[in-house]
Amino acid sequence: MRILLVEDEHDLSSIIKKGLEEERYNVDTCFDGEDALFMSEEISYDAIILDIMLPKINGITLLRTIRSKGIATPVLMLTARDALEDKVKGLDTGADDYLTKPFEFNELLARLRALLRRNLTQRASVVKVRDLVLDTARKEARRKNVLISLTAKEYALLEYMVYNKNNVLSRTNISEHIYDSSFDLDSNVIDVFVSSLRKKLDNNHSIKLIKTVRGAGYMLTD
């Protein structure tokens, strides 16, 4: 899951980023509304955590702008204590939830999880593709009932491919969902990474789930 964190207080931003990364989220940060607008258009985030009081473009205006562009990414707004008007305005503008500062980090996590779940309502916790069974709650994958031992990143890639089965995923699509912006897009890391997942998933099975689409990327097919 890749999160955009828009918070201009650098200390708070780095605390949230660190905490989220410990929970294995990939987090990009930006510190003003202009950068946030640019990044939310460039990259398809799974959720955005958005402060209201921001330099250049405030959170409410930013949210209105991205919604008007058809970007439906779930947004968790951060509001100042007791700023009821901000909350109402935020929700009216298309925020999915809000959190009042100061907040407990655990509450941020819980609300973020709820938001991501809501966004994935069509996603059952156990997903099957032929003989592959993904338990998304336990983050486990099995083929023909045999547990496949995956790293956290391999699991994340597999889950992303399963949710997008029969769609070609470019290297950019994959890197955007699996890595944060510090990742070097020119590297062949994605190819190496897909090939290691493929080895674990498809070796020893006559049905190959991951296909290479020449010049385009990769696809998991049923």
Q: Using CB under 5 A as the criterion, which residues of the chain lie in contact with Ca ion when the complex forms? A: 8, 51, 53
8 Å CB contact between 108 and 16: yes
Complex with Ca ion: residue 8 or 97, whichever CB lies closer: 8
Name the token pair of 192.
Answer: 């190496």
Q: How near is the Cβ of 67 to Ca ion at its closest, in Å?
A: 20
CB of 55 to Ca ion, least distance (A): 8
User: Which residue from 135, 105, 96 is spatially nearest to 17, judged by alpha carbons?
Assistant: 105
Q: Which is nearer to Ca ion, 8 or 191 (CB)?
A: 8
Choose between 36 and 158: whose C-beta lies nearer to Ca ion.
36
Compute φ and ψ for 183, nearest 5 degrees. -75, 135
Q: Which is nearer to Ca ion, 93 or 173 (CB)?
A: 93
Question: Shortest Cβ distance from residue 8 to Ca ion (Å)?
Answer: 5
Measured between alpha carbons, how far is residue 59 from residues 35, 93, 98, 193 in Å? Answer: 12, 10, 12, 37
Rounded alpha-carbon distances, angstroms, from residue 84 to 1, 54, 89: 30, 18, 9
Smallest distance, Å, CB 101 to Ca ion?
9
Tell me the residue number closest to Ca ion, measured at CB.
Answer: 53
